[in-house]
Amino acid sequence: MPEIAARPYAYSFEPTTTALVVIDMQRDFIERGGFGEALGNDVSRLAAIVPTVRDLLAWARAHRLRVVHTREGHRPDLADCPPAKRLRGRPSLRIGDAGPMGRVLVDGQPGNDIVPVLAPRAGETVIVKPGKGAFYATKLDVLLRSQRITHLILAGVTTEVCVQTTMREANDRGYDCLLVEDATASYFPEFKQATLAMVHAQGGIVGWTAPFAAVRASLP
């Protein structure tokens, strides 16, 4: 069985029962003029991981791992967006407002699309999620179990919010999870580092972490 040199110890996985989950690599979070910038963030920190995520996707596709993409998005009527979520904080744009890339975090709008270089291919699953975690109010768990997936390799943004939430949800459901360290990012670098430490602390209480170079080296 292949092994990835990871923290806190080697991560063993079988490619046929492993899926790559790429979380929320969408324009609203990564490009100028989107929701991330409206919240006052430096989106270039997220854009910096796009080349690594691209290479990770290429690796997964070459070795025929199942690939799942997620997008955080809401229905046009915002019926699946609680007021507590929409009204929190004081951003220049709120969820559902019209911005430079269409209505913010609304499914079907240009800003809700995954950045073009990371676009899903035919046959790859796209999960549109109304919450932070990819398992909340979606069919992700049913889909993974129907495909006999037991291991997840995760990437995407942001590390401490949607990525960590998804990883903890997956851990509670019995999946063995590895987070690719240089294929995830936060608007706050210190939050990313703290999340990586939380994940692999106490013998991997949430899971494993490893750089992409170690992931790539695990399979010829």
| Residue among 132, 71, 79 at smallest CA distance from 105 | 71
Helices then strands, each counted (H, E), the chain:
9, 10
Overall residue count recorded for the chain in this entry:
220
* 28, 81, 129, 132: the active-site residue: 129
| Residue among 19, 20, 42, 22 at smallest CA distance from 32 | 42
Backbone angle region of 179, left / alpha / beta, with phi > 0 → left and psi within -120 to 50 → alpha: beta
Respond yes or no: is residue 24 known to be catalytic: yes
* 24, 113, 176, 182: the active-site residue: 24
CB atoms within 10 A of CB 176: 18
Respond yes or no: is residue 129 known to be catalytic: yes
CB-count burial class (<10 Å; 0-12, 13-18, 19+) for 42: exposed
Backbone angle region of 205, left / alpha / beta, with phi > 0 → left and psi within -120 to 50 → alpha: alpha
* 28, 81, 132, 162: the active-site residue: 162
DSSP string for residues in 11-62: EE--GGGEEEEEE--BHHHHSTTSHHHHTT--THHHHTTHHHHHHHHHHHHH
Distance, in Å, from the CA atom of 170 to the CA atom of 206, rounded to the nearest integer, reads: 9
Q: Catalytic amino acids?
A: 24, 129, 162
